[in-house]
Structure 1
């Protein structure tokens, strides 16, 4: 799939109104904090790749987990797009002039009481990504074709606060992508299939 085909599928197909239970709503029914993540899509000779990070092990929240660059919406951000791009610049050294935002996937409500907005963007891979060691221990890419193969995906449905809650998982090399990141990836894959 070329970057143009990828962008066309995102732009031409309407986002589906999926059942909220796909992600689940965790915690109290109070307003959640806002966050935005960037889903960097990079064109390589072997095809499209999705850039991911591994959070630093010393972080208080979600240490060592696989994630997208992004984070909490701050007062300095006029929009959630600003949040996703600013956080990506801080975490991986993203050159903000080398991205083409394509659109948003549906919001996700997390167990850590955030409403997360995922921004899909084509990112020029001809730049050096540098992990901010205060936040990120690793930066890596997963081929989109790998993510689209259902055999790498699975989920469990444990109970959370007395209700079943689906948790998504994707295996890649020596890494386990799970939770919100895996759910967003699966949402992206279903959208472009």
Structure 2
């Protein structure tokens, strides 16, 4: 049984986190970011999630973290994606840390950024074209075996384990679930969870990213040759 830290202990662990690699050499058009908005409720941290609008062309109706593709002119992830989707402004939140990127199913390199909502008067302001609803789930859920389910499939012809976390009527799965597990492990200062995070033979996150970077290099070589 994991000893659960207080909200302030979790926040200090996140503030002290330093990612090993941010892959800044990846082109902007292949990068995105998501915000992990944290709220203190009864001395524990909760994550604010969104339900994506049913009118969106991709991932419609899915549970997600607020985010979007990088733009060279973006000031920061809080000021752009979070403000656009749920009305979190830079002065509503304290930046905590960022994490090594994850590879999305559309082969975007997505950097998670954790921030604590410090404005006690903050109320989500939903952009209906992007978000239909929002809700919170305790951070501890994402290291809890009780709330965890998984299944295995193939992704890019490789074995891959998909994770689900069930809380009330909500199901946080896939990409968002993987990010939340990492945030929770760092916040609660644990190395391993009580389930198998990857299936035997599944490439590591770093190996998936390397495959993506190799594809980018091959595409660039092909494009350069076509210009000759």
Question: Normalised by the size of structure 1, how large is the TM-score?
Answer: 0.83
**Stretches of structure 1 lacking an aligned partner (at least 5 in a row):** 18-29
Give the structure 2 partner of residue 94 of structure 1: 88
* Root-mean-square deviation over aligned CA pairs: 2.1
| Deviation sequence 1:4-38 (CA, Å, 0-9, x none) | 31122124455578xxxxxxxxxxxx966111111
How many residues of Structure 1 are paired with residues of Structure 2 in the alignment? 178
Of the three residues 92, 97, 106, the one matched with 1:112 is 106
1:33-182 to 2 correspondences below 5 Å: 33-45=30-42, 47-78=44-75, 82-124=76-118, 125-182=120-177
In structure 2, the CA distance between the partners of 1:46 and 1:191, relative to structure 1 (3 Å rule), is closer
CA distance in 2, matches of 1:42, 1:95: 14
CA distance in 1, matches of 2:179, 2:115: 14
Paired residues of 1:147 and 1:189 also in contact (CA < 8 A) = yes
**TM-aligned CA deviation for residue 154 of structure 1:** 2.4
- Which structure has the larger Rg? 2
CA distance in 1, matches of 2:79, 2:143: 26
Structure having the larger proportion of residues in strand: 1
**Stretches of structure 2 lacking an aligned partner (at least 5 in a row):** 189-228
CA distance in 1, matches of 2:78, 2:43: 27
